[in-house]
Amino acid sequence: MKADKWAWWKEAVVYQIYPRSFADSNGDGIGDLNGVTEHLDYLKELGVDVIWCSPFFASPNYDNGYDISDYRAIMKEFGTMEDFDRMLAGIHARGMKLVMDLVVNHSSEEHAWFVESRKSRDNPYRDYYIWRDGVDGGEPNNWGSCFSGSAWQLDEATGQYYLHLFTKQQPDLNWANPKVRDEIFDMMTWWCKKGIDGFRMDVIGMIGKENYNDGPVYPGALYGDFVPSCQHTETTHRYLKEMRERVLDKFDLLTVGECGGTPADAIRYSNDDGSELNMSFCFEHTDGICDHTEMGKWSDHGGPLDEVREVLNRWQLALQGKAWNSVYLTNHDQPRQVSRFGNDSPLWREKSAKMLGTLIHMMRGTPYVYQGEELGMTNIYFKSIDQYQDVEVHNAWKQWVLSGRVNATDMLRWFAKIARDNARTPMQWNSQPNAGFTTGTPWLPVNNNYLEINAEKALKDPDSVFYYYKKLIALRHTHDIIVYGEFIPLLENDPCVYAYRRALDGKELTVLCNWTDKTVPCALSSDEMGEELISNYPEHKEGFLYPYEARVMLK
Ligand code: TEU
Ligand code: CA
């Protein structure tokens, strides 16, 4: 394997904040930027290097800020530009960096550009979005939106349809229009000059629409798939190279694309040649492993060891020496990782949370920690549809349950397992009412396990998930092998153990993770593997791994 070039973002650990649910400073029930600023010492204590903050820009919040109505203004619920400046200064003062969410595949329908665009067919902003005539009295083509229903919306005023790959309040921007690219690149430059340190690029693999042909309709699906025309196209790669030259190369940034696709796609987006982005996110082990039916991601498939390992190992091997990876098990679009991949019962919650953390943090690639993951926060298990806020859930409910295609009990079971609101319940700070998240009524209920799981309690317990994560993060900062070592899979067919090795300059790091609640045999669990760097058990059984045991050894 070719030796890696040094880069600060390869050695960094990123912490994702979902501001709406992080900390509410003024009692309106909604997290805000001052809430983030108040908790920066907590993040410094954890030891993370970079904060990626989900969108904090002006938004009518149909999709919690992923529908932006003004890219240069702060969402009023989150505070003011002065609050932002204070937050950024606080982050920098502690030696951390801030990555902002760049949501430019689409804007909000309330963005001034779209307000103009929809006024008339000859409005100067018409071509900022994607407008088409209907065909035979219906939509321009058969594409479905990611959030159910057609991807086209008829706008009565001008009699044409506009494209929205997400909700109809999120019209897709027309990147083919050079003026749109100028506007976006100017806006990015403006934020870089304000001092931000990078971009997490929302669905950036979809910006280059190559054609508007009907997509394949998979058995049982209601709409055609837009992916062949819109995802990972040559046009997208061209726009990213242009962005690189016109913006990114002028600053020292961390750039991560929310791209998905195959390892071959990722190698193009985040190639070591530096022509596009630093790294991109894999979706195959999150949405990919359950997305096998006409119901899309809605299932209770969870994440079996053999499938997760097959995906992660394949990505590790394919990317090394060619492109930088990013590694994670959860974010604001996924359920809580202990509930999905581990075991959220009181007995095994902490052990399995530490095991999953070990698995990710010892891998090649930049690790991402999602708020509350470092406490072992769990799914909330809502029982009825009215408890959910997420537009994705409500649209799916309409498409599948209200239409009589699927029964409500099944759908609610799948939501409880996989819905995004599981990750969006408020951060659990302490044992005060509402877990100290707010003095008002939280926009989404607090998980009632907060007396057991909260930051204040974790900070008092040397054996907590928090301190285990702190140690994982510190290890990455002290051992080059964890950042740059070659990845070598071990025990690839073991039904219970996920194992791998890292190798650098004659050294070997062995990582063992038991994915089950049983004590299982593992020949590699032996002192011959070297000095122990970290484990979630104080002692071991030669030749075995205890339930959810994780062990890392260096020789
Ligand atoms: O998500 C992109 C995306 O592909 C989602 O449809 C994802 O697959 C799904 O939410 C859960 O599996 C990004 C953002 O992360 C998400 O929060 C936004 O809703 C979406 O883009 C639109 O901006
Ligand atoms: Ca607030």
Domain boundary among 163, 191, 206: 163
Domain for residue 122, yes or no?
yes
- In this prediction, residue 294 carries a pLDDT of 76
Residue 293 has pLDDT above 80, yes or no: no
Whole-number Å distance, alpha carbon 66 to ligand 1 midpoint, is 9
Domain for residue 387, yes or no?
no
- In this prediction, residue 479 carries a pLDDT of 98
Residue 27 has pLDDT above 90, yes or no: yes
Q: Region 173-194: what's the mean pLDDT?
A: 98
Among positive and negative, which fits the CA dihedral 19, 199, 466, 330?
A: positive
Domain boundary among 100, 129, 163: 163
Q: Region 472-483: what's the mean pLDDT?
A: 98
- In this prediction, residue 296 carries a pLDDT of 82
Would you name the residues annotated as active-site residues?
202, 258
Residue 238 has pLDDT above 90, yes or no: yes
Identify the residue with better confidence: 527 or 101.
Answer: 101
* Number of domains forming the structure of the chain: 2
Domain for residue 232, yes or no?
no
Residue 292 has pLDDT above 80, yes or no: no
Domain for residue 439, yes or no?
no
Whole-number Å distance, alpha carbon 169 to ligand 2 midpoint, is 24
Domain for residue 134, yes or no?
yes
Copy the structure tokens of residue 287. Answer: 């949405």
CB contact at 8 A, 97 and 8: no
Domain for residue 540, yes or no?
yes
User: In this structure, which residue's CA is closest to atom 17 in ligand 1?
Assistant: 333
Closest CA to 68 of 105, 39, 97: 105
- In this prediction, residue 527 carries a pLDDT of 87
Does residue 103 have its Cβ closer than 6 Å to ligand 1? yes
**Residue 217 carries which side chain, given as an amino acid letter?**
V
CATH number of the domain residue 493 falls in: 2.60.40.1180
Helix (H) or strand (E) holding 554: strand 550-554
pLDDT in tens, 395-440: 999 999 999 999 999 999 999 999 999 999 999 999 999 999 999 9
pLDDT in tens, 341-386: 999 999 999 999 999 999 999 999 999 999 999 999 999 999 999 9
- In this prediction, residue 220 carries a pLDDT of 86
Domain boundary among 163, 184, 205: 163
Q: Region 182-199: what's the mean pLDDT?
A: 98
Q: Region 435-460: what's the mean pLDDT?
A: 98
Sequence-ordered strand ranges (E) for 333-402? 366-370
> What is the C-alpha separation between 256 and 258, in angstroms, rounded?
7
- Tracing tokens 């359950």 back to the chain, one arrives at 290
Q: How many CB atoms lie within 10 A of CB 418?
A: 24
CATH number of the domain residue 158 falls in: 3.90.400.10
- In this prediction, residue 446 carries a pLDDT of 98
Domain for residue 139, yes or no?
yes
Whole-number Å distance, alpha carbon 435 to ligand 2 midpoint, is 15
Residue 291 has pLDDT above 80, yes or no: no
Q: 145 lies in which domain range?
A: 112-163
Residue 447 has pLDDT above 90, yes or no: yes
Residue to probe by mutation, ligand 1, list 101, 166, 299, most atoms within 8 Å of CB: 166
Domain for residue 10, yes or no?
no
